[in-house]
Amino acid sequence: MRKLIAAILLGLFVAAPVGATGPFQPIAPQQTAIGTNVIYTGKNLVNLSVVSSTNANQWIMIFDGTTLPGDGATAPCSTAHTTGCLAWCEYAAGSNATTTPWTYSKDFGVHPLAFQFGIVVTVSTTLCTTKTITGSTNFFYGQVY
Amino acid sequence: MANEAQVKTSRYRAGVQTIGDGQIGLAGASVTATLLGAPGVRVFLTDITISGDLVANAVSGVATITGLDEPWNLVFVETVSAGGMFNHHYDPPLRASVDGGNVVANVPAIVNGGIVAINLHGYRG
């Protein structure tokens, strides 16, 4: 009987596929920040979540650069790629003005956004063509590599 | 599944460039975003996102993508729903019809007012 139990236990260990146990592991480091913006050290953005304590309508702006551009007109990224250009801009509604906080979440996992200089994320109260930074109450969560 | 996701991601890692941009259109205005081609290289479209004014719940329209290889080179149409956003991932990516050619997404008119932004995501090969 002991031999039978030992054989069964041994079989379970041998048959278990490598990596089939344990929780799912994210494929990219997680970086969080609280404030007006976040600057990620990676060059590829896989996932992004932004939480704001205000329920105003806002715009998520993602720049290809290493510092936060100043307020004012934005310059879209193109073939003549320069640091600080606007790589992504998306409208995020203020939860229909009924709930707080306001939350934005985007999964770039299928085709990660690739950056040449760095990843700078911020929130603007004005349209993609013009950046007007919001207050310091945003929470950023990103997966980058 | 995790392994599959990693393989899929790595396939696009080399040479990927984000060459789309956000464009803004107001009520009734035309909105255009372009993936710029370059001589000797071809543009590939991997993703398109169109977001609009959800609060007003009034944005509707038709997006057209031109400049793509067959069978998408003539017209590709999607409706921006009342919810105000749609996303598409193209796997495999859609290829521009000619080397150096541009891929252009356009919403010719935004019905019922509102605001629209278009993001095109792709790379050059």
Ordered by start, the domain boundaries in chain A are 25-144
pLDDT score for B15: 45
Does B54 score more than 60 pLDDT?
no
The one-character DSSP state at B14 is T
Total Cβ atoms within 10 A of residue A18:
5
Nearest CA in chain A to B24: A128
pLDDT score for A8: 58
In which band, very low, low, confident or very high, does the pLDDT at B113 lie, cut at 50, 70 and 90?
low
Does A111 score more than 80 pLDDT?
yes
The answer, for A75 touching chain B at a CB cutoff of 8 Å, is: no
pLDDT score for A14: 46
Angstrom distance (rounded) from CA B121 to CA A94 = 25
In order of A93, A116, B31, B41, B96, the CA distances from B37 in angstroms are 33, 18, 19, 7, 8
Between A91 and A133, name the one with better pLDDT. A133
A107 contacts in B (CB within 8 Å)? none
In order of A57, A118, A126, the CA distances from A71 in angstroms are 18, 19, 10
Residue A40 CB-density burial (10 A; 0-12 exposed, 13-18 middle, 19+ buried)? buried
What's the rounded mean pLDDT across residues B35-51? Answer: 84
Residue B36 is nearest to which of A61, A78, A112, comparing CB atoms?
Answer: A78
In which band, very low, low, confident or very high, does the pLDDT at B29 lie, cut at 50, 70 and 90?
confident
- Among B21, B31, B110, pick the best mutation site for testing chain A contact (most A Cβ within 10 A): B21
**What is the tens place of the pLDDT at every residue in A52-98?**
877 777 889 999 999 999 999 998 887 767 899 988 888 877 654 45
Q: What is the fold, at CATH topology level, of the domain defined by A25-144?
A: Jelly Rolls (2.60.120)
pLDDT score for A71: 96
Angstrom distance (rounded) from CA B38 to CA B100 = 4
B17-124 — its CATH code?
A: 2.60.120.680
Angstrom distance (rounded) from CA B20 to CA B69 = 18
Tokens 């970086």 map to which residue? A31
Angstrom distance (rounded) from CA A100 to CA A86 = 28
What residues does each domain of chain B span?
Answer: 17-124
Strand partners of residue A143: A30, A47
Does A10 score more than 90 pLDDT?
no
Question: What average pLDDT does the structure give for chain A?
Answer: 78
pLDDT score for B4: 32
Residues of chain B contacting A, Cβ within 8 Å: 2-3, 5-6, 8-9, 12-13, 16-24, 36, 38, 46-47, 49, 51-55, 84-85, 89, 91, 115-117, 119, 121, 123
- Among A110, A120, A143, pick the best mutation site for testing chain B contact (most B Cβ within 10 A): A110
pLDDT score for A123: 92
